[in-house]
A and B are shown apart, each in its own frame.
Chain A
Amino acid sequence: MHVSHLQLADYRSYEAAYLELEPGVSTFIGPNGQGKTNLVEAIGYVATHSSHRVAHDAPLVRRGAQRAVIRAAVVRHGQTALIELEINPGRANRARLNRSPNTRMRDVLGILHTVLFAPEDLALVKGDPGERRRFLDELLTARAPRYAGVRSDYERVLKQRNALLKSAAAQNLHHRGGRDLPTLDVWDEHLAQIGAELLAARLALVAELQPLAAKAYGELTATQDPISLRYRCSATDEELDTTNRPQLVEILRAALLRARPDELRRGVSLVGPHRDDLQLWLNDLPAKGYASQGESWSYALALRLAGFELLRADGDDPVLLLDDVFAELDAERRRRLASYVRTAEQVLVTAAVPDDVPQELSGARFRVTGGSVERER
């Protein structure tokens, strides 16, 4: 798939911008702070309805404006879908698909797929477990939009359950082992059921990612260094070797029962997919804390490339967004990354100077300055 048109109104530093894009490689060149990442972020927002840089929408609206609008024409299998998103911080965002006003946000989620490489990706390796959970969950949602529903149901269960635990903690109900809390059993059951659905999907995803990430890491670094992705589940000390939902429900139920006294004392949910981690191993050591800066970078890129390969295998190339990543790499890895991504239907690359972009990725060139984008002829 590819994006053929992009229009922004009051998005970040852009009062108004309009771009026509083509399949193949396009590069966006401009000094720092000129709005390159803002562009890439807007395209990512069309795909995921969230920004890779901020958790809330307010910063996405141009200073002084009420709302931001992103319009993108997405070409898939020869058909064009026109997606319009209106970002209203503090109120409900609105969507239109092909100019139809009767569109819900979730109707336009999952039309555009993107894989974004950004300097922030280093946090996949060095950051908190939450970064890696988000990586997995976003990939799940891109492959099957219903996981957006599973994720939000799970968050809702957590919120309700935490509210109950908190009020129980305040009333010191843990002295009686929670027997006065018949509704806690109900929330446990829902957490186990929805949690198992999410857990099963993540485990299956990790199994699919493993060989792809290993291959990408090998090609990027030209080494045989083994990498392994190990899903650590908060419900058990053992490595999970099943994606069978009823079995996972049992494991979660048992763990919730064990954790109950602790949970009642502390007033928070301590077990479930929201406490899990994806451990990244390199040469039989955890990458976090052991891997060098260069290795960590390669690892992060390998994870993104594995995600790209998976989406591509599902039938349609996602749009690749490479934001300022070449500056972080040596010449050899630049070249290898470039030849890896060149085959995608559409690749959008940003860089401060043209020299950062490897020869292999020549294509249409845009100049980005002070909130405006011009195609160079």
Chain B
Amino acid sequence: MYEGAVQNLIDELGRLPGVGPKSAQRIAFHLLAAETADVHRLVNALVAVKERVRFCAVCGNIAEETQCRICRDPRRDDTVICVVEEPKDVVAIERTREFRGRYHVLGGAISPIEGVGPDDLRVKELMARLSEGRVTEVILATDPNLEGEATATYLARLLKPMGLKVTRLASGLPVGGDLEYADEVTLGRAFEGRRALDF
């Protein structure tokens, strides 16, 4: 245990994902030794992310205005929506340059173990967007793991009565992995080979 402020910092850092007690201690002492100006820049970046960044009112992606950059872009195709779990999946798919439609970010996947059901995801918002009638195809790009598959199955069944084309990314993605870690080529080819879902 260290004196008050240092220990506080170690504790806070240790709460971050992927940071164990050893790393927390190393980062804390790094900050202690750093120039004051550098630390202020970090503090400002932290504060700015909480104060300026919000979630897009349309798709749930990260945005700095009411709507995100993609939702504001008039060149994007309004007839296709790609449904993903997290904002970082949007970034991953954008990197492939395969997709010119719109996104919908659910904010997670169905997982009873973690107490996450459909009501905890942005499913109602998705249905509202679809009921506007412009969308003809929904691509379900949830993670290729069990929870992602279950979420896709749930949505596919929900969407069935609406008569839309519902597709799922082709497998070939590493199973059990997170979409965000897939490389561009793999993810791009998965987009090419997306298949219709029929449950």
A residues with CB within 8 A of B:
149, 153, 156-157, 159-161, 163-164, 167, 182-183, 185-187, 189-190
Closest 9 pairs between A and B when the two form their complex, measured CB to CB:
A164-B112, A163-B112, A163-B113, A186-B154, A186-B153, A156-B146, A160-B112, A186-B150, A160-B113
B60 to A: closest C-beta gap in Å: 20
Q: Are B110 and A186 in contact (CB under 8 A)?
A: yes
Q: Among B112, B113, B149, point to the contact of A183 (Cβ < 8 A).
A: B112
Residue numbers in B under 8 Å from A156 (CB-CB): 146
**Chain B residues with Cβ under 8 A from A186's Cβ?**
110, 150, 153-154, 157
* Contact between chains at A160 and B149 (CB < 8 Å): no
Q: Mark B146-158, 1 if CB is under 8 A from A, else 0.
A: 1101100110010
State whether A189 and B146 are in contact (beta carbons under 8 Å apart), knowing that A164-B112, A182-B118 are contacts in the complex. Answer: no
Q: Main SS of chain B's interface residues?
A: helix
In the complex formed, the residue of B with least CB distance to A167 is B112
- B175 on the A face (CB < 8 A): yes
Q: Which chain A residue shows the least CB distance to B175?
A: A149
Docked-complex contact B199 and A167, CB < 8 angstroms: no
| Shortest Cβ distance from B118 into A: residue | A183
B193 contacts partner chain A, Cβ-Cβ < 8 Å: no
Q: A149-B175, A157-B146, A160-B150 are known contacts. Are A185 and B157 too (CB-CB below 8 A)? A: yes
Whole-angstrom distance from the CB of A195 to the nearest CB of chain B? Answer: 13
- Given known A-B contacts A159-B113, A160-B113, A182 and B154 have beta carbons under 8 A apart: yes
A186 to B118, CA, bound (A): 12
7 A-B pairs (CB sep. < 8 Å): A149-B175, A160-B147, A160-B150, A185-B157, A186-B150, A186-B157, A187-B150
- Tell me the smallest distance from the CB of A67 to a CB of chain B, in Å: 17
In chain B, what residue has the closest Cβ to A155?
B146
What is the bound-complex CA distance between A157 and B150, given in angstroms? 9
Look across to chain A and name the residue whose beta carbon is closest to the beta carbon of B151.
Answer: A186
Majority SS of interface residues in chain A? Answer: helix
Chain A neighbourhood of B118, CB < 8 A = 182-183
- List residues 75-119 of chain B with CB under 8 A from any CB of chain A: 110-113, 115, 117-118
Known: A153-B146, A156-B146, A160-B147. A190 touches B153 (CB 8 A): yes
A160 neighbours in B (Cβ, 8 Å): 111-113, 146-147, 150
Residue pair A190, B150 in contact (C-beta under 8 Å): yes
Given A163-B113, A183-B117, 20 new contacts (CB under 8 A): A149-B175, A156-B146, A157-B146, A160-B112, A160-B113, A160-B146, A160-B150, A163-B112, A164-B112, A167-B112, A182-B118, A182-B157, A183-B154, A185-B157, A186-B150, A186-B154, A186-B157, A189-B153, A190-B146, A190-B150
- A189 and B115 within 8 A (CB): no
Closest residue of chain B to A157 (Cβ to Cβ) is B146
- C-alpha gap A183/B146 in the complex (Å): 13
CA distance A159 to B112 in the complex (A): 9
Pick the most buried of B110, B146, B154, B175: most chain A CB atoms within 10 A of its CB.
Answer: B146
Contact residues in A for B150 (Cβ distance below 8 Å): 160, 183, 186-187, 190
Per the bound structure, the CA–CA distance linking A156 and B147 in Å amounts to: 9
- Which residue of chain B is the closest to A163 with respect to CB atoms? B112
Interchain nearest-CB distance for B19 vs A (Å): 16
Contacts of A182 in B (CB 8 A): 118, 154, 157
Shortest distance between the CB of A146 and any CB in chain B (Å): 10
B156 to chain A, nearest CB (A): 9
